Amino acid sequence: MATPLSDQEKRKQISIRGIVGVENVAEIKKGFNRHLHFTLAKDRNVSTRRDYFFALAHTVRDHLVGRWLRTQQHYYETDPKRVYYLSLEFYMGRTLENTMINLGLQNACDEAIYQLGLDMEDLEEMEEDAGLGNGGLGRLAACFLDSMATLGLAAYGYGIRYEYGIFNQRISDGWQVEEADDWLRHGNPWEKARPEFMLPVHFYGHVEKTREGPKWVDTQVVLAMPYDTPIPGYMNNTVNTMRLWSARAPNDFNLRDFNVGDYIQAVLDRSVAENISRVLYPNDNFFEGKELRLKQEYFVVAATLQDIIRRFKASKKGRVTFETFPDKVAIQLNDTHPAMAIPELMRIFMDIEKLPFDKAWEITQKTFAYTNHTVLPEALERWPVQLMETLLPRHLHIIYEINQKHLDKISALFPEDMDRLRRMSIIEEEGVKRINMAHLCIVGSHAVNGVAQIHSQIVKDQVFRDFSELEPEKFQNKTNGITPRRWLLMCNAGLAELIAEKIGDGYVKDLSQLRKIAAFVNDESFIRDVSQVKQENKMKFAQYLEKEYKVKINPSSMFDVHVKRIHEYKRQLLNCLHIITMYNRIKKDPAKHFVPRTVIIGGKAAPGYHMAKMIIKLITSVGDVVNNDPVVGNRLKVIFLENYRVSLAEKVIPATDLSEQISTAGTEASGTGNMKFMLNGALTIGTMDGANVEMAEEAGEGNLFIFGMRVADVEALDKKGYNAMDYYDKLPELKQVMDQIKSGYFSPKQPDLFKDITDMLFKHDRFKVFADYEDYVKSQEKASNLYQDPKQWTKMVIINISASGKFSSDRTIKEYAKDIWGVEPSDIKIKPPNEPREPVETREAAVKPKSKGSLL
């Protein structure tokens, strides 16, 4: 067997990572040295590794700028319909390597950095993650930006430039500890502030009746400062924009009326206004009705809509009439978080542009589309009317007006059906009066979609059944996807190249071509190569764990990985019960053969989510017992992976053998982690939930370890009544596990430490962990048995990879473009740029710009 290539050697061979070319290498070295000198003001005697990272980042950034300007100019000139993706989260992770890949610069940069005596991976590790998201929803937005640029759509991401992203998680004595994510401390080389496009956002005040209609007056103003980040498409010279808003106090803040005289205090108080963009709310799938959060939601919406309307008015058609607005503008709402865009656009149309309600409403509905991301009741946004009245009084009036017309329409169709009116109202009247934001979004949009087939079905038939009865044509499905650039080329170069050797590189832009590798499922050398790439990835990850955390794991054991936010519905507890079951089996019969496993669990708990934090403590406590038991040896290890985030996902996913996707059927809307693992050659153990259902459909159910209740079974069990004791009494191994947790086997110093967990599992487990325990353990045994036969395992891996093409976000975005936005992908390659275009060298050449200020 040939000796494996080093990463350095491997990268040089790879065609899909760009052409090396001596002149490219020389140019990059030149740029690097120039930036080290002029931008960072350092030389090689005093430079740190971080300086080298910034020098390279600026060098790569230089290659984006010309393409960025040309793309935006192209949009200005051709005036296509714009797509606006509004999201409170963009979980971008790192940018350097992704940019090199999408620009085809990776090989040249690798070579340049190598010639400069530096290590590319060391430099890449210096970059902070842009952690402006919690989990799947925020990462989806980031994948969509990549796909929209790759498909040549005139698209924009709009969000908030949080000064602090998702907290950093430390594990101390087995408990989660949060640390602030000061990601901008060393500066962000990818953003460009655009103070000339700063916009005012109003809060509070009251509504005055005037002869020209209602007027929102006496408001407090906060300024929104845009920061633009370039979003390159894959090898098409398209560079789109993600525009994130940062809150700034006006310079006369508090100096005009009340705080007169106290200048110092007024300046200090500026931070109150600027707190709006200070920090990301760290809840995943949970609604926290805080005033600051509502301010954030309105802040992004108000600034973005002004920007959209400015750009529309600057375009040719926009000068004429707002009738054409929906032909030129599509706005996608990433969950209800930006839902205030609906009443805000109505306010602009009615109060500022003086359109009548009905006309404004027609245009608004045609403009918006809403993506639902969850059916969990605790996650649905329902803002108290009182809070809305204080913060956004005019919007509350408009919401009431929208609701009135909506209810009138329903009572005309269903006379006397008071219960239906109550169920469908945007305003909930029982208890504390609240605004149901999902209802507002459904009523205000022309399209509503779920994020996987099963989820869209539940949205239609259960959660929003009344609405789908009223307007069935509105409801759609758009199964989520992931970008194959980051989640294959970037994180798993070895596998990407292996695939390219067999089927060429067309799959990078058309992932359905992965089907072609199914032809090699019996090809002995391909099987060996696939398994070898996995083994290399596992070794590398094991080395990383040893270096960073001083833990040694056995790289020939099965890597069983469960990484995602910690949530009861995601059932990390079920996994934990299985770990203890395996431990008990080893202890009971130590001589019996056992397929070695390393169970890796990682994820952040929302800081206010008590049960999630207890689950982390239970996992680390079980790990302490299992990992230090000499009888177990290195057959079973439990690792809690600290600070799971995008850059860590990129390391652990390619090293995974078994992917845990074990939510209670009907609770995980789609999942996207599941897709990343499938694409990277892991097998899935999972329930028939979210996109797992479609993964099983694509690969064949027998090629996943599917177990447990289906949605119908869960419903039947709910009807009958779920009783945890039924399973506890019936299953001796489950009984033993629960008795151990309860009696303090894993917490000898504090036997009742896990009382909240055991009480929940026994008495009020909404997610029915015990009901799936038996089938889960059996399914895990099947996985272990197959793992003993490496060839059969790898064949199943190949089938899975070949079946994963559907889960490209390119496919998802094409569906949004066609079925919701009414735009078409463009594969015209915008002309590659030279250096700064048309340099102005003479007074005669210094012509007036075509569209000062509105081009971007």
Ligand X SMILES: *Cc1c(COP(=O)(O)O)cnc(C)c1O
| Residues known to be catalytic | 373, 564-565, 570, 672, 676
Q: Which of residues 5-44 bind ligand X (CB under 6 A)?
A: none
* Closest distance to ligand X from the beta carbon of 715 (Å): 23
Q: Which is nearer to ligand X, 460 or 676 (CB)?
A: 676
| Region from 327-335, 340-348, 643-651, 777-785 binding ligand X, contact rule CB under 6 A | 643-651
Helix, strand, or coil here: 475?
A: strand
Q: Measured between alpha carbons, how far is 166 from 181 in angstroms, rounded to an integer? A: 6
DSSP string of 574-603? HHHHHHHHHHHHHHH-TTS----EEEEEE-
Cβ neighbour number for residue 557 with a 10 Å cutoff: 20
Q: Tokens 């099983």 belong to which residue?
A: 696
- Give the residue with the Cβ less far from ligand X, 466 or 642: 642
Specify the 3-state DSSP secondary structure of 670: coil
Closest CB to ligand X among residues 136, 805: 136
Q: Which residue's CB comes closest to ligand X?
A: 673
Residue of 120, 576, 599, 649 that binds ligand X (CB under 6 A): 649
**Dihedral over Cα of 544, 547, 549, 550: its sign:** positive
With CB under 6 A as the contact rule, which of the stretches 354-362, 461-469, 542-550, 641-649 interacts with ligand X? 641-649
CA–CA gap between residue 219 and residue 423 (Å, rounded) = 34
* Chain length of the chain: 856
Residue found by looking up tokens 């050797």 in the block: 501
String of contacts with ligand X for each residue 131-160, x by CB under 6 A: ----xx--x---------------------
Burial label for 337, CB within 10 Å (0-12, 13-18, 19+), is buried
d(CA 833, CA 237): 8
Shortest separation between residue 16's beta carbon and ligand X, angstroms: 22
Q: Do residues 678 and 800 lie in contact, with contact meaning Cβ atoms separated by under 8 Å?
A: yes
Task: Give the one residue of 29, 311, 439, 564 binding ligand X; rule: CB under 6 A.
Answer: 564
Considering only 26-34, 344-352, 426-434, 670-678, which stretch makes contact with ligand X by CB under 6 A? 670-678
Rg of the Cα trace of the chain? 28
Angstrom distance (rounded) from CA 154 to CA 391: 34
Give 808's DSSP letter. B
781 φ, ψ to 5°?
Answer: -65, -40
**What percentage of the chain's residues is helix, strand, coil (to nearest 5)?**
50, 15, 35
Query: Shortest Cβ distance from residue 674 to ligand X (Å)?
Result: 6
We find the least distance from the C-beta atom of residue 603 to ligand X, in angstroms, to be 8
Q: Cβ neighbours of residue 107 under 8 Å, at least 6 residues apart? A: 11, 12, 14, 17, 18, 19, 20
Binds ligand X (CB under 6 A): choice among 332, 672, 703, 794? 672
397 in Cβ contact with 214 (< 8 Å): yes
Stretch that binds ligand X, among 343-351, 467-475, 577-585, 669-677 (CB under 6 A): 669-677
Gap between the terminal Cα atoms of the chain: 56
| CA gap 205, 421 in Å, rounded | 31
Contacts of the segment 586-594: beta carbons below 8 A, 24+ positions apart: 586/631, 586/632, 586/635, 586/636, 587/629, 587/631, 587/632, 590/631, 594/635, 594/636
Looking at beta carbons only, is 89 or 110 nearer to ligand X? 89
- SS3 state at 563: strand
Query: Chain centroid to CA 514: how far?
Result: 24
The pairing of beta strand 475-477 with beta strand 329-334: unpaired
The single residue among 141, 148, 360, 646 that binds ligand X, judged by CB under 6 A, is: 646
Helix ranges, 680-754 (H): 692-699, 711-720, 724-730, 732-743
Closest separation in Å from C-beta 673 to ligand X: 2
Please report how close the Cβ of residue 474 comes to ligand X at its closest, in angstroms.
26
Is 66 one of the binding residues for ligand X (CB under 6 A)? no
CB of 810 to ligand X, least distance (A): 17
Give min distance, CB of 571 to ligand X, in A. Answer: 12
Q: Which of 532, 545, 530, 673 is nearest to 600 (CA)?
A: 545
- Is the C-alpha dihedral spanning 518, 523, 529, 534 positive or negative? positive
CA distance 121 to 326: 46
List 203's β-bridge partners, or say none.
Answer: 220
- Cβ 564 to ligand X, closest distance in Å? 3
- What minimum distance in Å lies between the beta carbon of 567 and ligand X? 8
**Does 671 engage in binding with ligand X (CB under 6 A)?**
yes
Written as six digits, the tokens of 191 are 């953003």
**Interacting span for ligand X (CB under 6 A) from 68-76, 645-653, 755-763, 810-818:** 645-653
* Between 301 and 655, CB nearer to ligand X: 655
- The β-bridge relationship of strands 658-661 and 636-641 is unpaired
Both tokens assigned to 249? 């106090």
Which 8-state DSSP code applies to residue 482?
B
Nearest residue (CB) to ligand X, 505 versus 772: 772
Q: At what angle do helices 49-78 and 106-115 cross, to 10 degrees?
A: 150
Q: Does 645 bind ligand X (CB under 6 A)?
A: yes
Burial status of residue 178 (CB atoms within 10 A of its CB: 0-12, 13-18, 19 or more): middle
Closest to ligand X by CB, 139 vs 337, is 139
Tell me whether residue 564 or residue 617 sits nearer to ligand X (CB atom).
Answer: 564
Nearer to ligand X, 237 or 687 (CB): 687
Choices 28-36, 106-114, 286-294, 644-652 (CB under 6 A): range interacting with ligand X: 644-652
Write the CB contacts of 815 (distance below 8 Å, at least 6 apart in sequence). Answer: 478
Least distance (Å) between residue 644 CB and ligand X: 6
Which position has the token pair 């949605």? 711
Residues in contact with ligand X, counted by CB under 6 A, come to a total of: 12
Quick one: which of 230, 673, 681, 833 contacts ligand X (CB under 6 A)? Answer: 673
Task: Indicate the residue among 248 and 564 with the shorter CB distance to ligand X.
Answer: 564
Shortest approach of ligand X to residue 166 CB, angstroms? Answer: 9
Residue closer to ligand X by CB (options 205, 708) is: 708
- The minimum distance between CB 692 and ligand X, in angstroms, equals 10
Q: CB-wise, 636 or 704, nearer to ligand X?
A: 704
Q: 674-713 mask for ligand X (x: CB under 6 A)? A: --x-------------------------------------
Nearer to ligand X, 318 or 671 (CB): 671
Answer yes or no: are the C-beta atoms of 272 and 248 closer than 8 Å: no
Q: Which residues bind ligand X (CB under 6 A)?
A: 135-136, 139, 564, 644-646, 649, 671-673, 676
